[in-house]
Chains A and B, each alone.
Chain A
Amino acid sequence: MSLLQIERLGIAFGGLRAVHDVSFSVEPGEIVSVIGPNGAGKTTLFNMISGVYRPGSGRVRLKGEDVTGMEPFRLAARGMSRTFQNLQIFQNMTVLENAMAGFHLQERGPVLADLLNLPSSRRRTRMAEEGARELLTRVGLERAADREAGNLSYGSLKRLEIARALAMKPAVLLLDEPAAGCNAVETEEIDHLIAEVAGSGVAILLVEHDMKMVMRISNHIVVLDHGEKIAEGPPEAVSRNPAVIAAYLGTEAADADS
């Protein structure tokens, strides 16, 4: 039994098959990347796995349990977390509070205790704050803790989003283009961070455009084209696969045909 198992997942938007019959699995500590030309259905696949879209067909299994189409907050409680291509930071909160929000499942308690500031509520807040500061140190943001999140640089926000996702100690972490819009230095920082997280036993599913990064850090690559899986395997094998090369080099020709 794999940690995360994708079985024949598919969805259609008004007759257009955005994703069709895609299967693969992710093991603990493994980095699996989903690649493919623009419009191949990578983000759609991601949104189905993370509960944003309800799949039209197929199953998603997490730790063997069927979690197909489950709402994101229920998936979170079962150990799945994600980041977003177009950053979803709580801009109205400080950097520290953003990271603390990641501890929600561990820090939540009776509302009445929170309203009356009972010792149990203060203890939960302290626990989240300690954990959050530790995580901020891990991603190199400890000195920005009290700044408003909206004022951080793009690369820092990307790392903050990863820190927030790690706060809930996920078993599976979905990263949607974590290096998009980052410069070379920032990409390398994120690169190291992802490898380190995987090293701690978290299963990572990655969508990324930066091919160098994908080839460098992935254990396993799934290639999508026109919503279907056309290849799968370790980086070396995938990069030599003729179908993959055709999909990437042949996109222009294919577009011209249609």
Chain B
Amino acid sequence: MRLSSKHLTLIVMAALIAAAPFFFPSGYYFRVGALIFVNALAVTGIVILTGYAGQISLGHAGFAGIGGYACALAPVHLGLHPALAVVLGAVISAVLAFLVGRPILRLKGYYLGVASLGFGILVAMVLNNERGLTKGPDGIEVPDLGLRAVLKGWGLDLSNGEFWYAFTGICLVIGAWIALNLFNSPTGRALRALHGSEVAAGTVGIDVARVKLQAFVISAVYASVAGSLTALQNKFITPDIAGFMHSVEMVTMAVLGGVGSVPGAILGAGILTLLPQVLTVFAEYEQLILGLVMMLVMIFLREGLVPSILRKFRGRGE
């Protein structure tokens, strides 16, 4: 069988994730790696929505918040296992994305950006103010996923950092596999077609509003699962996860790496997650730097890092 670019991408990804720990100077980097993978997972959802379908969301952190708080609240109030809480969060996010997206995506233009912005702010407000349930801005504890203990029972004794590094890494590879499957599928072609020309998409029978909604719901599930993983890994969560800055972060990561490309999304997430960890000055001026990155990419690398680099390679090869 010929090795497709999809398989190549996945193999390279898995190899990098497996090999990177050999170069870690300290155990702390397992945690940094896991942070990168979780962010990359959320950004993969943005690639589907923005890169494939050409729609902008400025409120995806809202879905991350729902996924995160589902893991904090469902085990306590509903007695659900944390793993099922992840599923519950994803279902709630999907339903809300459907309800928000359905009326909005019938309109042409950038209404989704504005509507999703409002949605994200709303979720953050609820999480901040419903103190009785969410304990407000101070955050809330999240129960343990319990999988590490199970693995230990099977004789696989991982440190907390190692476990989350491996677990989120596997989740990211699965997420990338799904996104790459979609790219070359009938639905993926419909999404990319409407990105290219909505008018022409209509004439070949594509129900533009419907497939846009599908992309929005899928990307919301990605953000929700990423939010759940963040909460479970930290065993704690604050409403910041649903904040506007987090939404902007996701979009910036996608745009930096290349919004149409799954490896690009992962690279973008890697760079912007790593910078504040290694250079404290970045952590202090994060908002400034996100804005600067966004501007520079738009001016000099409109396709983002990965597609621009690939183009250079291909250009030389021919």
* B-binding residues in A (CB < 8 A): 50-52, 71-73, 76-77, 81-82, 84, 88-93, 97, 100-102, 104-105, 107-109, 111, 114-117, 121, 124-125, 128, 164-165, 167-168
Ranked nearest first, the 5 interchain pairs of A and B with the lowest CB-CB distance are A90-B196, A76-B205, A114-B185, A88-B200, A72-B202
Whether B200 lies near A84 (C-beta < 8 A) is: yes
Contact residues in A for B196 (Cβ distance below 8 Å): 89-93
- B34 on the A face (CB < 8 A): no
| With known contacts A50-B203, A76-B203, A116-B178, A92–B186 Cβ distance under 8 A | no
A108–B197 touching, CB < 8 Å: no
Contacts of A50 in B (CB 8 A): 203
With A and B bound together, what is the CA distance between A124 and B184 in angstroms? 11
- Our pick among B177, B189, B207, B260 for the contact of A101 (Cβ within 8 Å) is B189
CB-CB under 8 A from B178, the residues of chain A are 115-116
A228 to chain B, nearest CB (A): 27
Sample of 16 A–B contacts (CB below 8 Å) = A71-B202, A76-B203, A89-B197, A90-B200, A92-B195, A92-B196, A101-B204, A104-B189, A104-B190, A104-B193, A111-B214, A114-B186, A115-B178, A115-B181, A125-B186, A164-B204
Within 8 Å by CB of A93, from B193, B205, B218, lies B193
Q: How far is the CA of A77 from the CA of B187 in the complex (A)?
A: 17
Shortest A116–chain B CB gap in Å is 7
- The interface bits of chain B over 158-198 (1 if a CB of A lies within 8 angstroms of the residue's CB, else 0) are 00000000000000000001100110111111101101110
B292 touches A (CB below 8 Å): no
* Other-chain contact of A88, B197, B208, B214 (Cβ < 8 Å): B197
B106 CB to closest chain A CB (Å) equals 11
Task: Kindly list chain A residues whose C-beta atoms are within 8 Å of the C-beta of B193.
Answer: 90, 93, 101, 104
A117 with B200: CB separation less than 8 A: no
Quick one: closest A residue to B190, CB to CB?
A104
Nearest Cβ on chain B to A130's Cβ, whole angstroms: 14
- Given A50-B203, A115-B182, A73-B192 contact (CB < 8 Å): no
A104 to B206, CA, bound (A): 7
By a CB distance below 8 angstroms, the chain A residues around B195 are 90, 92
Q: Give every chain B residue within 8 A of A105 (Cβ-Cβ).
A: 204-205
Q: Which residue of A lies closest to B215 (CB)?
A: A111
User: Contact at A82–B186, with CB atoms within 8 Å?
Assistant: no
- Of A51, A72, A84, A97, most buried by chain B (CB within 10 Å of CB) is A72
Q: Smallest CB-CB separation from A127: which chain B residue? A: B186
Instruction: Give complex CA distance A124, B181 in Å.
Output: 13
B47 → chain A, closest Cβ, in Å?
14
In the complex, what distance in Å separates the CA atom of A100 from the CA atom of B190? 10
Residues of B within 8 A of A164 (CB): 200, 204
Write out the residue numbers on chain B whose beta carbons fall within 8 Å of the beta carbon of A84: 199-200
Distance in Å: Cβ of B302 to nearest Cβ of chain A = 13
Q: Are A73 and B207 in contact (CB under 8 A)?
A: yes
B214 in contact with A73 (CB, 8 Å): no
Name the one of B177, B188, B203, B218 contacting A72, with C-beta atoms under 8 angstroms: B203
Contacts of B214 in A (CB 8 A): 111
Name A124's closest neighbour in chain B (CB-CB): B186
Write the chain A residue with the least CB distance to B189: A101
Does B206 lie within 8 Å of A90, measured CB to CB? no
Q: How distant is B305 from chain A, measured CB to nearest CB, in Å?
A: 18
| CB-based contact A115/B204 at 8 Å | no
On whether the beta carbons of A73 and B197 are closer than 8 Å, the reply is no
Chain B, residues 133-151, CB within 8 Å of chain A (1/0): the string is: 0000000000000000000
* A114 with B203: CB separation less than 8 A: no
Q: Known: A93-B196, A115-B181. Contact between A81 and B203, CB under 8 A?
A: yes
Does B202 lie within 8 Å of A125, measured CB to CB?
no
Supposing A73-B207, A90-B200, A101-B204 touch, asked if A108 and B187 sit within 8 A by C-beta, the answer is yes
Contacts of B197 in A (CB 8 A): 88-91
Q: Which residue of B lies closest to A109 (CB)?
A: B186
